[in-house]
Structure 1
Amino acid sequence: MKGEAFSAITVINAFATGKGGAIGIYLKVSVRVKLTDEGVSGEISVRGEEFEDLSLVKAVVETIKDKFGLDFGVKVEIDSEIPVGKGLKSSSAVANALTKAILKELKIELSDIEVVKLGVEAAKRAGVTLTGAFDDACASYFGGLCLTDNLKLELLKREEVEKIPVVLLIPQETVLTSSLRRRNFRVLAPYVEEAFKLALRGEWKKALVLNGLIYGSFLRYNLEPIAKALEVKAIAGLSGKGPAMFAITEEPEKIVEIWRDYGEVLTTRLR
């Protein structure tokens, strides 16, 4: 059975307040799932390279087994276009695609939002999220802008967005979520809350710029790429925990030119 899900970029990072927002983009994860008698095996390919870690796959399987009182194994093939450890929601996309495919294979019907919640539970079990990443999971699954309360697992607002080009900057460094557990993001709460209110009012472009500047400076990233993108009137921010940055613009070639010196640059669209 096949399943797919997509990447997303951050509007509001939920680390500080538990409330967050993200927008889907067209970077895809495809999975194939075959049920077996026991165990978890398979192959994961990320952007053409082998990826050895099956911990998220195992967490998805355990979560589904526990919820429905079943016993089964799986063999998986996962092919992902999403870089890992860059803040581009690779874990949410894999959890969504796998959960969807395994449930189909088991002939279990759930509403879309329940499928997303199962994937979030699995991501928590696997230790790949600090907040449950319900915002990322919703944007990955549904597309469009999704604003959520991650602590209550509530989708507060969803709206379609224009399929504007997005330029992604992917620096060399990788930042795994587990490395941020000791950081006190609560000190950012008063500022991030204001940005979240902007997003709820429909001013998500302003919100994501503020979010990027707040978290980017707190995490001590070089914010020069964002500054340069703003100078040419793009909307630019930090995705997730970083280090990936993004710019939403009708003139992607300008940003590609400016950002070339900072790392790998990809172009896609809002979904």
Structure 2
Amino acid sequence: MYGRAVALGAGTVLNALATETGSAFAIDAETTATVELDDSEGVTGSVAEDADADTRLIERCVELAIETYGDDAAVTGGTVRTESDVPMAAGLKSSSAAANAAVLAAADALGADPDPLEACRLGVRAAREVGVTVTGAFDDASASMLGGVTVTDNDADELLAHGDVSWDVLVWTPAERAYSADADVERCGNVAPMAELVADLALDGRYAEAMTVNGLAFSAALGFSADPAVEAMPHVAGVSLSGTGPSVVAVDGPGGEGLDRVQELWSERSGRTWRTTTRNDGARIL
């Protein structure tokens, strides 16, 4: 019983740590999961890019998929392997992409055709159960699963808005890593008034403006320099710290001429500066 699926990385419009309302947009960076199911005891996971990576999330995703979509008592375990061009622990939703891909690949192996949001919620549940997220990251997971941009209530795992965006995207990813589960939730709560403003902007469809306000507020709350964002602001439609960092993401309309100038500036910084685009098609079974 074999299945494969792919899900997308994403950038942040609104970090959900302050108010449980979050917003994210899918980018053209993919994680692929391959699942093989059998009658073995338990699920064993591996990550192509890091032999020592924590595999509890993808393993739990497959276990929950078996419980939800399986009807063969002989299917009790198997293997799951991910390979990805989404940097890990960089604020670009690598965990959400891996979870979505793992759930869909397991469903494929079981011959199921899952509802995307139901499958997304299984991955969010797994993330909470293994402790890799504070909020459950339904905002990140929904953008990764559905494509486009989403606004969500992460407390209720409810989709508040979903639409298409067509942006060119520039990402600066420094060498350091930041894990969502380690974020200072209490300090992020201090910027709740700004997060509420960002939510209003996002629900009004003003996503690029929303992400810029978000970036300034959460860079301060999470202890990251706002300098990369300030450098970018005169040239782009929106720029933000992505997730709990450390990546910074800038967006502009198709063609992205403003991004050319920002790329020059960010390339002087240590780390990796790279270009991509938004994606509106979402995750899929292969």
Coarse TM-score class (shorter-chain normalised): over 0.9
Is 1:148 the counterpart of 2:158 in the alignment? Answer: no
What is the CA deviation profile of residues 88-147 of structure 1, one whole-angstrom value per residue up to 9, with x for unaligned ones?
A: 000000000010110121123331111111111111112111111111011001111100
Is 1:80 the counterpart of 2:81 in the alignment? Answer: no
Contact kept, 8 Å, 1:6 with 1:29, in 2: the verdict is yes
Runs in 1 of length 4+ with deviation above 6 angstroms? none
Q: How far apart, CA to CA, are the structure 1 residues paired with 2:77 and 2:248?
A: 38
Residue type at the aligned position of 1:73: G
Q: How far apart, CA to CA, are the structure 2 residues paired with 1:247 and 1:45?
A: 28
Match of 2:272 among 260, 264, 267: 264
Match of 2:195 among 181, 192, 196: 192
The residue that corresponds to 1:61 in the other structure is 62
Displacement, 1:180?
1.9
Identity over aligned pairs, percent: 35
The residue that corresponds to 1:104 in the other structure is 108
Residue type at the aligned position of 1:22: A
Change (3 A) 1:257 1:51: farther
Displacement, 1:227?
0.6
Contact kept, 8 Å, 1:45 with 1:51, in 2: the verdict is no
Residue type at the aligned position of 2:35: V
Contact kept, 8 Å, 1:130 with 1:181, in 2: the verdict is no
The residue that corresponds to 1:7 in the other structure is 9
Pairwise CA RMSD: 1.7
After alignment, is 222-231 or 183-192 more displaced? 183-192
Residue type at the aligned position of 2:28: Y
The residue that corresponds to 2:282 in the other structure is none
Change (3 A) 1:208 1:116: same
Match of 1:235 among 230, 234, 238: 238
The residue that corresponds to 2:139 in the other structure is 135
Change (3 A) 1:182 1:225: closer
The residue that corresponds to 1:218 in the other structure is 221
Change (3 A) 1:192 1:182: closer
Contact kept, 8 Å, 2:5 with 2:105, in 1: the verdict is yes
Displacement, 1:188?
1.6
What is the CA deviation profile of residues 154-185 of structure 1, one whole-angstrom value per residue up to 9, with x for unaligned ones?
A: 111101111x2111010111111222256442
Displacement, 1:64?
2.9
Q: How far apart, CA to CA, are the structure 2 residues paired with 1:192 and 1:42?
A: 36
What is the CA deviation profile of residues 74-98 of structure 1, one whole-angstrom value per residue up to 9, with x for unaligned ones?
A: 2222111011111100000000001
* Partner SS, residue 261 of structure 1: coil
* Partner SS, residue 231 of structure 1: coil
Contact kept, 8 Å, 1:40 with 1:57, in 2: the verdict is no
Q: How far apart, CA to CA, are the structure 2 residues paired with 1:51 and 1:207?
A: 37
* Partner SS, residue 205 of structure 2: coil
Q: How far apart, CA to CA, are the structure 1 residues paired with 2:45 and 2:160?
A: 36
The residue that corresponds to 1:168 in the other structure is 171
Match of 2:18 among 6, 10, 16: 16
Displacement, 1:21?
0.4
Q: Which runs of 5+ in 1 are unaligned?
A: none
Question: If the length of structure 2 is used for normalisation, what is the TM-score?
Answer: 0.88
Residue type at the aligned position of 1:8: A
Change (3 A) 1:112 1:169: same
Q: How far apart, CA to CA, are the structure 1 residues paired with 2:214 and 2:250?
A: 13
Question: If the length of structure 1 is used for normalisation, what is the TM-score?
Answer: 0.93
Is 1:29 the counterpart of 2:31 in the alignment? Answer: yes
